[in-house]
Structures are given as structure tokens and as C-alpha cells.
């Protein structure tokens, strides 16, 4: 059982915009920034977004992040087949004194 809650799956067609939600509580998302990771099965995760909406260099602007209260979301526009991957949200938790992750959302491009 993950501390942060994500839908297990999401899907869209090429060119479409999809959003992935991430729900937490006052001790994590409500108090601290959210980071997002992308993981192609069998490979290591990759940082996609940090501090809610900041993209590391090399991450295209088709990815955007937002946060409101105890929830956050990742939006992917102009969906492409190679966007298929697992997406994880994460945030520092003040009670657990460590980062906590969502359970991951498997994105499928139809």
C-alpha cells in the first residue's frame, strides 16, 4: 500500500493529452513539492519533473506538472507511442522523514 495514491492505469491515443493524478495528505504533498519519475519496464527510473512543475534539462515541454492542496498531476500532451511507461509521483513526508512514492500509473498509448 503506497502512501501516495495514483490510478493504476491511464491511456490515450496519439496526439491526445492525458493527465495522471497523485493524491496525498498534509504531511507530504500538502507541505512539500512533488517530483515525478518515468520508468520503462526493465530500466531505471528517470526524473521527469521536480518541485511540482520544473523540468530537468532534456525533458520536453510536452510534460507539465501542477499541484493544488494535497493533490498533484502530471500532464502529457501530444501523446506518442514511446510515452508508454510507468509514471510515479513522489514527495517528502514530514511524519515518515523520508520520500514517499505513489504506486505508479501504467500509461498505454492506444
* Interface residue list for another protein (CB under 8 A): 2, 32-33, 35, 37, 39, 43-47, 50-51, 54, 56, 88, 90-92, 96-104
Using the minimum distance from each CB to another protein, give the nearer residue, 61 or 98: 98
The three cell numbers locating residue 75: 500532464
Of 13 and 41, CB closest to another protein: 41
Please state the closest distance from residue 13 (CB atom) to another protein, in A: 26
Cβ nearer to another protein, comparing 4 with 109: 4
Half-sphere exposure for 42 (CA within 13 Å, toward CB): 0
Distance CA 89, CA 20 (A): 9
Within 10 angstroms of residue 99's Cβ, the number of other Cβ atoms is 14
Find the shortest distance in angstroms from Cβ 45 to another protein.
Answer: 6
- The Cα–Cα gap between 98 and 85 comes to 25
Amino acid at each position: 500500500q503506497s502512501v501516495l495514491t495514483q490510478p493504476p492505469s491511464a491511456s490515450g491515443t496519439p496526439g491526445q493529452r492525458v493527465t495522471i493524478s497523485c493524491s496525498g495528505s498534509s504531511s507530504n504533498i500538502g507541505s512539500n513539492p512533488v517530483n515525478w519519475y518515468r520508468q520503462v519496464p526493465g530500466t531505471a527510473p528517470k526524473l521527469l519533473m521536480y518541485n511540482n512543475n520544473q523540468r530537468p534539462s532534456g525533458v520536453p515541454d510536452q510534460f507539465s506538472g501542477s499541484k493544488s492542496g494535497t493533490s498533484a498531476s502530471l500532464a502529457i500532451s501530444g501523446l506518442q507511442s514511446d510515452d508508454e511507461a510507468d509514471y510515479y509521483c513522489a514527495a517528502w513526508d514530514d511524519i515518515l522523514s523520508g520520500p514517499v512514492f505513489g504506486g505508479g500509473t501504467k500509461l498505454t498509448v492506444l
